Amino acid sequence: MRIIKLTESDLINLVRKAINEQSTLNKKPTPTSTPTGTIDFKRQSNPSDYLGKGGEFERQNFPDRKFSLQILSYKCLPNSLSTFANYVKNNKQKLMSNLQVDEKTLILMAKAAMGIIGRETTFGEGTEFKDEAIEFLTKWGYGWIPQTAQFAYNAAGGLVGKRKQQMSLGPAQFTKDTWNSYGLDKKIGPYDESFNTIKQGLGTIHRINDDYKLALKKGTGTGPSVNPIAIRQGKIKSINGTGNNAMDLAIVSHNMAGLINKWCQTNDPNFAGPCNQPVYQPYKESKPELKVNVYTDKQILNYFPNKGSGALTTIGYLEEVTNYINNFNCFTI
């Protein structure tokens, strides 16, 4: 067993580093390795339809890390995902009943959960020491230590003028508030005991399921995702998603909030806006004076917002996860 010795200043530094990594919008990623090649990101320096509301990646990302593919139960999966994949396979009837989905949808959501774990922490293999130390303290009942350091850091002005950040932990990089807001503390178990692939993988499936059904209820669309604004501006040619806009929105909602809406045309051809907001502020935080009028009766069916900044965007996130999904073709239940 490894003995961890930390001073008070060590703890504060660990928390500071964890908080600072929650938003990586201004970091330039390098291509991420996959079983069949590399994935690059859509690189827009100034996305045309950035959503100001909740406009930061909530959890940390590690796009520059590599993972080594190991053969265990499934030749197309990293070794670290085998226990989660086997759990889903052995409990498929229970999961289908609890989630109220068919087998095909469960397989897709399980693959998406594994792809998200790949995107967030390189399939759990990219966890750094500071994360392990904080997870260790939290698991054994000392979570108040990093939480106190986090509170002190926020109160001291470390995030002045910005949205308060929380530490995200585990293979899927959940925050405690997100875990509890989806009821995962009741469905899966306490957040402090969730830092393994099975529990966070299951938590990701449940979250995807909730957000997918929310998107279906709102009528976002179930066809391939589109963004005619980004296409017209030459930023993309198409969106490589799952083929189901509601599922695409549910996948990316793991990392960003506020995407699941019907989107409509506006009086400015460079922006789309939520159909339930007659007046929309595309850059609510950075340019609150910019407002567009939304044509609330002119929905852009299957619209997928291009939210983000620099090299990290919703489209880049979705396409990386989708690429992983497509490579996990040996996984069946």
72 lies in some domain: yes
For the segment 46-86, what is each residue's pLDDT rounded down to a tens digit? Answer: 232 323 233 334 444 444 444 444 434 689 999 999 999 99
pLDDT surpasses 90 at 35:
no
Domain assignment of residue 15, yes or no: no
Does any domain span residue 215?
Answer: yes
Is 265's pLDDT higher than 80? yes
The answer to whether 204 and 113 are in contact (CB under 8 A) is: yes
25 belongs to a structural domain: no
Count of domains observed in the chain: 1
Task: Say what the pTM is.
Answer: 0.73
What confidence score (pLDDT) does residue 286 get?
86
329: pLDDT confidence band, cut at 50, 70 and 90? very high
Q: Classify residue 161: in a domain, yes or no.
A: no
Q: How far apart are CA 236 and CA 249, in angstroms?
A: 18
In this structure, the chain runs to a length of 333
Is residue 133, in this structure, part of any structural domain at all? no
What are the beta bridge partners of residue 33? 38
Query: How far apart are alpha carbons 158 and 26 in whole angstroms?
Result: 17
Give the C-alpha separation, 207 to 191, whole Å: 14
Q: Over the range 8-22, which residues count as b (16 or more CB within 10 Å of their CB) and which as e?
A: eeebbebbbbbbebb
* 147 part of a folded domain: no
Query: What is the reported pLDDT for 7?
Result: 57
Q: Select the more confidently predicted residue: 156 or 255.
A: 255
Over 289-301, what HEC string results?
Answer: CCCEEEEEEEECC
Q: Phi, psi at residue 23, to the nearest 5°?
A: -120, 120
Cα separation, 58 vs 255, in Å, equals 6
Residue 170 near residue 135, CB atoms below 8 Å: yes
The closest of 170, 140, 128, 130 to 14, measured between CA atoms, is 130
* Across 81-109, average pLDDT: 96
Question: Does residue 15 have a pLDDT over 80?
Answer: no
Q: What is the pLDDT of residue 51?
A: 30
Lowest-confidence segment of 50-64, 191-205, 313-327 by average pLDDT: 50-64
**CA 119/CA 121 separation, integer angstroms:** 6
Res. 118 pLDDT band, cuts 50 70 90 = very high
Query: CB 210: neighbour CB atoms within 10 A?
Result: 18
What number of helices (H) and strands (E) belong to the chain?
A: 12, 8
Tell me if 324 sits within 8 A of 34, measured CB to CB: yes
Q: Which domain holds residue 189?
A: 47-124+172-327
Answer with the residue of higher pLDDT: 300 or 309. Answer: 300
Domain-embedded: residue 11: no
What is the percentage of the chain residues whose pLDDT exceeds 90? 59
